[in-house]
Structure 1
């Protein structure tokens, strides 16, 4: 297979506008980004790669000031944007441009519907479907440096060049297996989720061991998590530079009221104490004043030993179904199904597909997995009650 993309460096608004004019007539566009994210909260874009067939444009985000034509391409519903493991790239576009590519064809997700590993890396994907071994030596390059080296330019261009070659192959194979609609549904869901701004007030619910805390302690956790999220964004630093994740639970549990006690908290570094120590103490004090009526409710504990047989039954059923459907097992959210269905059973005595679960799963998972799983579990329940 030919290994020679035609590369154009785009470093001014006029050249970008001309390229975008060419792309408005294509049916699909390979798309990728290179960025740095070592000491910041937000990714710093170093390069955007876009192209159709062998024509690859490397766009310098440090030089472009008018992104309007490019945003029009990203938002054009008639152009499929072909990407691989698009999650972090979507974050780059949202931060840089305030918009997202739509619709997207995610190649990593596509091979999951073809029975291949869910987390198949790009190099392995190219090797498996195109028989080409890609170099990995520029994976951790400094993409903010200028000028980029010849190796960096080639590496970046080939990422999109081979996406364009993979797209028709994967599209045909999805069609052969009648998985196109499933893949489209999941790609669309990924874009919808990327558009949603996270509710920073709910960040405390994801803290490790939060279920062990009482309402007053949860109020402290809630306040500290909100402070952590807002400050990390405002200062553009990783969350753990504000409060380390390992510090959240002991802070909420023990509620230190001075710096001497605070510095004994796990992972409370001198830098965090110096920059944020007084603010952390202030947030703890304020959270302790929250009225009883405004305290959060306790979170549910992990499923008990009594639930274990049902969790295993769900896990085994989902594994069997993924093998029967010839899809990656990770496409079926076993943990979500187990937590939702088993908790409902423990509360009501039966298994039912509730609207929140239906919305979370989407149509193909409901049809192929959930409906039959609920029947299967209720049959097991009835057999257990009769025996």
Structure 2
């Protein structure tokens, strides 16, 4: 399938919005309900927070390059970001969503991730923007500007063309994919998955929950995971306060080793391989305080890091995965998108514990697709729970 290539305008001052009033006026001119493509360019090499370098916006008829200062000063843009009735098209939107939340303090509503649309339409899992442009338009986008300096001014003409292409191809791409999803009955799935993605990003950004992202944490005991949670929360808040990358303070490996050893005095740090003396000198007392505080915790953590599935859980997982694959094949949906391994493992544990089909598989578009398999799923979880309890 080769779509009509959108015209990329020649770079020039007429494409720039440099003042808040100019951005407000552009937004006011967009008819209600008109989808707008959004992208951003930023730098994050030696800071915790991304430094915005450029925001790109486009409709079918108009594209603009927006200075960060104009975005910061535009009340209309902030209102518009949070308006769920205003469709916003983004591609692989996690970094853009995080940027707007941390930079502007705004949560994005009404966002559709066109990378998710591509997966649902059978174009591939996590397919890159340039690759999809080449597949749908037959155009090879240049990669020269991918890592260029977006904070410098003026931007080169090559940078401006690159930035415009990021939103101008997105408009016809999204239109084509949404039409495909409409034919497949999956437009609701795109909206649900995009909303779920934004919600998951929001919950993952909480300093209190960062420990859940550390690989290998499942090997720790519950008391050690209590310490790991406290250590990660401290580092997250400290990194934000100092605007420094997490690894510049204490690496994940260091935190895992400290939590595993549970030191009670500075001298105990000397035997830890991952911890160098500079880190101990700067942050040793703070880490000891975190560990001691975790010992005083009166309530258990809301969530502990799960280890690999038990043999029985793995058996249930395989049965459920087989049913999911059957339903996905009938609906032409990649099984790895429908239920990624990590999510399906969590769902299997939930289903065994509750003796019922877990929410991930029972609700929304997944529940509709699995409707004919629901009795079999219910039987699996009810019988597996009884078997597990008998072990």
Q: What's the TM-score once normalised by structure 1's chain length?
A: 0.85
Structure 1 CA distance, aligned partners of 2:171 and 2:280? Answer: 50
1:294: Cα distance to partner?
4.2
The answer to whether the aligner puts 1:17 opposite 2:24 as a matched pair is: yes
CA distance in 1, matches of 2:84, 2:229: 40
Alignment of 1:1-387 (within 5 A): 1-5=5-9, 8-25=15-32, 27-62=34-69, 65-196=72-203, 198-288=205-295, 290=296, 293-294=298-299, 296=301, 301-333=307-339, 334-342=341-349, 344-345=351-352, 351-354=355-358, 357-358=359-360, 362-369=363-370, 372=373, 375-376=376-377, 378=379
Distance in 1 (alpha carbons) for counterparts of 2:83 and 2:234 = 38
Shift in CA distance, 28/382, structure 1 to aligned 2, threshold 3 Å? closer
- 1:245-299 CA deviation, whole Å, 9 max, x = no partner? 11223212212344454244243245533432332233334444x16x5455976
Q: Give me the whole-angstrom Cα distance separating, in 1, the residues matched to 2:210 and 2:173.
A: 38
Rounded Cα–Cα distance in structure 1 between residues aligned with 2:363 and 2:150: 38
Is the 1:216–1:295 contact (alpha carbons within 8 Å) kept by the matching residues of 2?
A: no
Taking structure 1 as reference, are residues 330 and 41 closer, same or farther at Cα in structure 2, changes over 3 Å only? farther
1:172 CA displacement: 1.4
CA contact (8 A) 2:58 2:64 kept: yes
1:89 deviates by 0.4
- 8 Å contact 2:78–2:106 — kept in the other structure? yes
Separation in 2, partners of 1:39, 1:361: 44
- Between the aligned partners of 1:192 and 1:367, the Cα distance in structure 2 is 21
**C-alpha RMSD over aligned residues:** 3.1
How far apart, CA to CA, are the structure 1 residues paired with 2:53 and 2:370? 41
